[in-house]
Every structure is written in C-alpha cells, then in structure tokens.
C-alpha cells in the first residue's frame, strides 16, 4: 500500500513508539523515506479512518483544522479504546492545528462526501443507539452540517453482512464525482446481502443533488468469504482515492477485474491499482478503513 501511494503523495504513518517505528522502517526499506513521515501516537486499533482526525479546510482561507468526534470503538464493541479516542487531538497538537469538538460519536468510515456540500451515510450506523442514544436524527444532521460544512445529507439503510461497524458507508456506496455514486450490488439472490443492497440501490435512484438525479454506477460484490466461521465484509467500495492513484482491495475473485475496470472508468485521471486484501480483510477492513486523507494547503 505504501509503495503504491508514495508516488502519489506524502505518506504519514502513525506508530506507537520508537520500536514500532523501527519495525516499520525495516519493512519499508528500499522506499524513498523522504516521502514518509512517522508520528508517534499510541493507539488501540490500526483503523485510522474511524478514530483519526477528520481534516477541514476552506477555499478562502487555505488553512487546516481538525474535527475530533467522539469515538467508542463501533458501539463499545472492542474495549479498551481510550488511546484511540484522543488520537485526533494528539495529532492536531503535533501539527499545530485548531480542533473542534462536536460532542457526538462518529467514525470516519460512516460518512462519504462529494466535496460540494453533500454527505452520504447510513441509518443502521449513525442512528444506532450504541453511538448517540440521546441525539435525534435531526440533531445528528445538525452537527454534521455545523462541523463538516455540508448542507445536504443522503441516507441509505443497512450495511453488508459481516460488517462489525453496523453498516459503514465505505463498504456500500462512494462518491466518485459531485453527482456520481458507485454502489455495490449482489447478483446472487440467495446471498444475505442481496436484499439490503437492492433496497439501497432503490434509495439511490430516488436521490437528487441540487435538484438533479444522482448518476449511479454499480460495482459487483466478491464471492462470499468465510474464515473460521465468520463472514468477512469484503467489498470493492472500500477503495482509497489518492492524489494520483486509487487503491482498490482485491480478493483473488473473478469479480476483481470487473471492479477494477468500473473504477478505471470512474477515475480516468488516476492509476487504479488492485492489491490483494485476503489477509487484510481478516481484520474486517481494507484500504479506506486503514487510511485518512489530509488536504494539501
């Protein structure tokens, strides 16, 4: 992943301590280390999309800020999470950036934005009582608007089977342009993902941005992956969009090349790179979960 990204952008890696950094440097030996920056902030989990800082910027003032949302390890599923909960503020201190505190639980993988004021999310995650039991849907939408600068919020329903996040959007549907959304569909009617994904597709067909219907592009789902009796949340929607490349999870599946072909059409100006994630998905996430973009200023 780092080797693929390093030609696209500066890569920042969070490590727990000096020994952890030394181990990472050993693994990355041979790559241009001037393109890699290490930060030492101890964590409980590696999934920085969810616990890490969400960066803000604005056109008229080319400076960065950080939003530090509350974090409770996907609904108190994996304690302890005390180290992860403070990561955004710790990194903001290192980067000397201002921090905003919405006082609301939110993981970065639960939202996707189009860059012009529209946000896409799911009811199964953001409205789940294991996140913000004292906030109504209207109050949650208000905080998304206030702290992310969005003005339109689009809601899908359920997530995919095996997703322990209660339905993160980054396994379901992603913006690929201001009005275009790529969404996963399951063709096997006997698969447990078939009906929820059809319902999400129907919702997308009814959505509008700026009064115009959304352009919908479909991605296949890989064949069901089960390990030690556990259904894994493998999805081609969990791609990461870099400055000049797109990293796409692959699973040694017949649908890999179909998914890569679809995404190459979506991102004609970027290299679309498939990387085998059969081991990474055992951790219940892939590239989008493992990364968090920092805007250039």
The set of catalytic residues is 289
Contact 29, 52 (CB under 8 A): no
Distance CA 272, CA 263 (A): 7
Distance CA 159, CA 169 (A): 7
Instruction: From residue 247, give the alpha-carbon distance in Å to each of 33, 176, 266, 271, 286.
Output: 20, 13, 13, 8, 10
Length of the chain: 297
Longest dimension (CA), the chain: 54
DSSP class per residue in 71-85: --HHHHTS---HHHH
Strand ranges inside the chain, DSSP E: 11-15, 36-40, 54-58, 61-67, 99-100, 112-113, 118-122, 152-156, 173-175, 180-185, 208-209, 212-213, 215-220, 226-227, 230-231, 240-241, 245-250, 271-276
- Residues in a beta bridge with 276: 250
The conformational region for residue 270 under phi > 0 = left, psi -120 to 50 = alpha, else beta, is beta
Instruction: From residue 105, give the alpha-carbon distance in Å to each of 75, 120, 126, 132.
Output: 9, 17, 9, 6
Contact 144, 111 (CB under 8 A): yes
């Amino acid at each position: 992943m780092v080797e693929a990204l390093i030609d696209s952008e500066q890569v920042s890696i969070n490590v727990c301590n000096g020994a952890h950094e030394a181990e990472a440097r050993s693994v990355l030996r041979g790559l241009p280390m001037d393109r890699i920056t290490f930060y030492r902030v101890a964590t409980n989990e590696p999934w920085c999309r969810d616990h890490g800082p969400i960066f803000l910027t604005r056109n008229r003032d080319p400076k960065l800020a950080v939003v530090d949302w509350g974090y409770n390890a996907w609904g108190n599923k994996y304690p302890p999470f005390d180290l992860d909960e403070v990561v955004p503020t710790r990194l903001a201190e290192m980067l000397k950036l201002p921090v905003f505190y919405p006082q609301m639980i939110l993981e970065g993988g639960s939202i996707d934005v189009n860059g012009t004021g529209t946000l896409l999310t799911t009811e199964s995650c953001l409205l789940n009582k294991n996140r913000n039991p004292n906030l109504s849907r209207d109050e949650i939408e208000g905080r998304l608007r206030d702290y992310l600068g969005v003005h339109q919020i689009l809601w899908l329903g359920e997530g995919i089977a095996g997703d322990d996040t209660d339905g993160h959007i980054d396994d379901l549907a992603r913006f690929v342009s201001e009005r275009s959304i790529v969404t996963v569909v399951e063709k096997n009617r006997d698969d447990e993902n078939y009906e929820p994904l059809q319902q999400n597709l129907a919702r997308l067909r009814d959505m509008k941005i700026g009064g115009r219907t959304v352009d919908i592009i479909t991605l296949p789902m890989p064949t069901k992956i089960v390990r030690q009796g556990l259904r894994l949340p493998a999805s081609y929607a969990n791609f990461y969009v870099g400055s000049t490349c797109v990293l796409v999870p692959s699973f040694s599946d017949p649908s890999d090349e179909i998914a890569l072909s679809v995404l190459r059409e979506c991102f004609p100006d970027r290299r679309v790179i498939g990387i085998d994630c059969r081991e990474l998905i055992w951790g219940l996430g892939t590239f989008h979960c493992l990364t968090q973009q920092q805007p250039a200023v």
